[in-house]
Amino acid sequence: MSADADLAPAPATVAPKPRRSRLLKRFVGSKAAVVSAIVLAVVLIAALGAPWLAPNDPFAIKLIQRLKPPGWVNSAGATFWLGTDALGRDVLSRLIYGARVSLIVAVSALAISGVIGLLLGLVSGYFGGVVDDIVMRIADIQLSFPTILLALAIMAVLGSGLDKLILVLGLTGWVQYGRIVRGQVLAIKQEEFVLAARATGERQWRILFQHILPNVWSPVIVVASFTMASNIVAEASLSFLGVGVSPSVPSWGTMLADGRQYIGIAEWLTIPAGLAISLTVLSINLLGDWLRDFLDPRLKNIL
């Protein structure tokens, strides 16, 4: 896709800043948004409070108690509400710790790609000309490489692990932000308040960061919500291909990938992790939809 043809919607006027009370009112009005927010809150609490919430040690390998069904109680009286995995570790505890790993990967990667995309999009949209051409061609080049293969190649050379996973997902995900921000900037820079600032001889960088930046947040937030969802799925996919996080680190992706051999004899290894991924991604998407409709309904046609 040539970035030039990728015309972001050009809002005729910049959406007025939503007031907080309106935000809350509209939010409560949407059942889907409320339910999603509750699901995400649960995931967030699990991630933050994992050490206190997990009933058992998620790393403790005990071969003697492997593949026990949900509700099993061991001789010491510990209950394994979701059963144990192939190495005798508590599935529920790993699920709770897994929220942490999945969220860390998703959020850190989207932060990296968001910052890169935002900066490049701003610069390219505002200055136009050669700068714009260069940035958009880099975007095209980036898009030409299938993300998963690029991630595999980089991780094969640099090694796998949480940090590299985040880096790879972060570095490859910036294009969406870049393009949408650029489109917004193109529209905004024709606005009166920008033209006025220019006329008074304000510095370019000041105009860019003080006048334009505050007006491109909405699409960035919306893109971020969708990127977060796709990062969670990407983590699972790379785990399946064996280049995700280390197998001892509990992540939903590795749990789902590891449990696949036991489908048919130990469903408790895949269903909780699979549901956790799907529900979280679903909630993020629904919330993202709602945010988009609320912040800037015109983005509907491109996201």
Partner 1 sequence: MRYVLRRLAQSVIVVFGVSIVAFGLLFLTGDPTEVILGDGADRMTVDQIQEFRAKMGFDRPWLVQYASFVGKALQGDFGYSFIRHQPAYEVIVDKLPATIQLAAFAFVLSLVISIPLGVLSATRPNTTVDHAVTALTLAGQSIPSFWLGILLILFFGVELKWLPISGSGTWKHLVMPGITLAAFPMARNMRLTRSSMLDFMQRDFVRTARAKGISERRVVYAHVLRNSLLPIVTAVGLELGFLLGGSVIVETIFGWPGVGREIVAAIGSKDFFVVQAGVIMLALIFAGVNLLIDLVYVWVDPRIRLGG
Partner 2 sequence: MNQIRLLRSSLIALGLGLATVAPAARAADKPVVVLLNAEPVSMDPMFTQADAHLILTIHETLFRLDNQGKVVPAIAESIKMLDPLTWEIKIRPGLTFHNGEPINADAAVFTFDRAKKLFAEGKGDLTFALGALKYKTMEKVDDLTVKLNMSEPDPVITAHMVNPELSLLPPKYYTENPPEKVAFAPVGAGGYKFVSYKAGQGVVLKAFDKYRLGKPPVDDVIVKAVPEVATRISELKAGSADLMVGVPADLKPSLDKTPGMKVIVAPSYRRLFVAIKQGRHPALADVRVRQAMNHAVNCEEIASALMGGMAKCNIDLINTPYNNPGLKPFAYDPAKAKALLDAAGWVPGKDGIRVKDGVRLALDFDTTNGSYLNDKEIAQVMADSWKAVGIEIKDLRVIDNAINSQMRAKQGAGYRDLMNSSSGPDYTCQGDLLLVQKDSGSNRMSWVDDKFEAMFKAFNQEFDQSKWQKMCWDAEAYVAEQAPVIWMFTEPTLYGVSDRLSYEARPDGRMYLNLVLKGVK
The neighbour count for residue 208, using CB atoms within 10 Å, is 20
d(CA 266, CA 244): 23
Stretch that binds partner 1, among 73-81, 108-116, 161-169, 278-286 (CB under 8 A): 278-286
Sequence letter at residue 254: T
Sequence letter at residue 241: L
Choose, by CB under 8 A, the member of 67, 148, 162, 213 that binds partner 1.
148
The neighbour count for residue 265, using CB atoms within 10 Å, is 8
Q: How far is the CB of 1 from partner 1 (least distance, A)?
A: 3
Choose, by CB under 8 A, the member of 87, 275, 279, 282 that binds partner 2.
87
Choose, by CB under 8 A, the member of 160, 176, 184, 218 that binds partner 2.
160
Q: Is residue 253 part of the contact set for partner 1 (CB under 8 A)?
A: yes
Instruction: Please list, in sequence order, all residues whose beta carbon lies within 8 angstroms of the beta carbon of residue 53, skipping any fewer than 6 positions away.
Output: 45, 46, 96
Q: Is residue 1 part of the contact set for partner 1 (CB under 8 A)?
A: yes
φ, ψ of residue 284 to 5 degrees: the values are: -65, -45
Closest Cα to residue 111, out of 223, 278, 216?
223
d(CA 28, CA 127): 41
Question: What is the contact surface with partner 2 in residues (CB under 8 A)?
Answer: 59, 61, 63-64, 66-67, 86-87, 159-161, 241-243, 246-248, 258, 260-265
Question: What is the contact surface with partner 1 in residues (CB under 8 A)?
Answer: 1-2, 4-7, 137-138, 140-141, 143-150, 152-154, 156-158, 229, 233, 236-237, 240-241, 253, 256-257, 260, 263-264, 270, 274, 277-279, 281-282, 285-286, 297, 300-302
